[in-house]
Structure 1
């Protein structure tokens, strides 16, 4: 029997309301429970970054990161791969791959720069409910 693949890990800005909403979206649509989550500001998030040779997060991290099959993805690449892993109909977002990476990442960075102003932020990392605790590192 082939080994079960390791869960994919989404690293996100734990104080960002937009990021929190994105995590909630993934949880609702990830029926298989393929994804685990870690705030970039958490000890688990920092340890995962260090283990993959990535620098520690900035005070206001600008990207959702995806750790999938031992590889770390960022910016639009992370979001598109997450959508692909969620399956139908979210897999349709893969059409975004036809756009040049510079355009996709430019749009991603524009939203990231303004996300606190548009969506707000928390003073502390948001904590998962007891029912979801097992999916957070």
Structure 2
């Protein structure tokens, strides 16, 4: 992915995600590999909790309720506008080369409430289905276990 200097005046989006969620971590890792026309900044909810003041990591962001952040991924634009859940996914998809066409489906009548329901269904089961990262996150990021077999506390 291109760095901010190469993108020039590309819009900056802040993707706020659960750093303990394996599905979230894998999704962010994949997004980092993709070419986005936006400058995507990835911020773990745990980082926001650790610094106490969200504006240090996400400028122009108003007060946050961490309980709401843990319910779904949020994407903040440079003005501080938040896009949550499926809206956040679509907001990011609109910037990713090769995936922009998926965002167009969201405009089909009836797709927004359907996408929201599917998002909530998966989000509510993400730890059960995909597990939780074993390492706690620091301001420098997370470390994942070397293999799925090591320290598997879920017995899977």
Work out whether the TM-score is over 0.5: yes
Q: Is the CA contact 1:50–1:56 (under 8 Å) kept in the aligned structure 2?
A: no
- 2:12 alignment partner in structure 1: 7
- Structure 1: gaps of 5 or more residues: 130-137
Kindly tell me: are residues 59 and 101 of structure 1, through their superposed partners in 2, closer, same or farther at Cα, counting changes over 3 Å? closer
**CA RMSD, aligned part only?**
2.8
Q: Is the CA contact 1:11–1:45 (under 8 Å) kept in the aligned structure 2?
A: no
Kindly tell me: are residues 6 and 31 of structure 1, through their superposed partners in 2, closer, same or farther at Cα, counting changes over 3 Å? closer
- 1:47 alignment partner in structure 2: 54
- Structure 2: gaps of 5 or more residues: 1-7, 144-156
Count of aligned pairs between the two proteins: 126
Of structures 1 and 2, the one scoring higher in RCO (CA 8 A, sep 6+) is: 1
Kindly tell me: are residues 60 and 122 of structure 1, through their superposed partners in 2, closer, same or farther at Cα, counting changes over 3 Å? farther
Runs of at least 4 residues off by over 6 Å:
none
TM-score w.r.t. length of structure 2 = 0.68
Structure 1 or 2: larger helix share? Answer: 1
- For 2:45 and 2:117, locate their aligned partners in 1 and report how far apart those are by CA, in whole Å: 21
TM-score w.r.t. length of structure 1 = 0.76
